[in-house]
A = this chain, B = another copy of it.
Amino acid sequence: MNKLISMEEAVNLVRDGDTVMVGGFLGVGTPERLIDALIEKGVKDLTLICNDTAFVDRGVGKMVVAKMFKKIMTSHIGTNKETGRQMLEGETEVELIPQGTLVEQIRAGGYGLGGVLTKTGLGTEVEKGKLTINIDGQTYLLEKPIRANVALLFAERADEKGNLTFHGATRNFNTYMGTAADISIVEAQEIVKVGEINPDDVVVPGIFVTHIIDGGAL
């Protein structure tokens, strides 16, 4: 049950055509070294699920530039002109999803819920083609659960069982994506022995972490 793997083993877990969830908010809390290794390997036809597409030289934005995605599900692409170009020229399909809806859809996928009932997006393009449900006189949009083949995550510290802690604004989607993917790979800045993280301080329990790679300091 050793969860620690090499970068080479990690990139081999991501296959052409996979749906990948990637943690991070404008690149903050994204596993940068794992992304660099995936670009080097040249995986393709991926579907990306991520808060945003970061910048051309940072986070998943680098993967956009490397044209690794056939589809992108995200809340924001405004900081990465290449995403917008690929979308407008029809090279890449982009589905824009409200940020709060996206995280709840991922949580629903990981927590076994049938969907998310929300007011966000009512009366907008987001509502198109979706079911609305009236509950006690209020209308809600039904948004479906989302799952992925692989989650690529970042943490400040991981112990050998995969228990994770975080610093600053790096949690964002890293806490739920591991619940909604078949396997999850965490790039941790520091890996510590079992017992070094107090059970009270664990933010993500190791059961949601399949593999750990040693990312080193930021």
Contact = CB atoms under 8 A, between A and B. Distances in A.
Contacts of A168: 200
Interface residues of A, number: 23
Contacts of A147: none
A133 B138 CA distance: 17
Contacts of A112: 118-119
A135 B142 CA distance: 9
A204 interface: no
A176 B59 CA distance: 32
B118 A140 contact: no
A108 B142 CA distance: 14
Contact of A118 (B113, B119, B167, B200): B113
Taken together, the copies of this chain in the complex come to 2
Interface in A139-170: 140, 142, 144, 165-168
Contacts of A201: 201
A151 to B, nearest CB: 22
A140 B115 contact: yes
A135 B144 CA distance: 8
Contacts of A165: 200
Given A168-B200, A201-B201, A116 B119 contact: no
A136 interface: yes
Contacts of A118: 112-114
Interface string A104-137: 1000100011111111000000000000010110
A100 to B, nearest CB: 9
B136 A133 contact: no
Nearest to A104: B113
B119 A117 contact: no
A167 B200 contact: yes
Contacts of A133: 114, 133, 142
Nearest to A200: B167
Q: Name the 7 nearest CB pairs between A and B, nearest first.
A: A114-B117, A114-B140, A115-B117, A114-B135, A113-B117, A167-B200, A115-B135
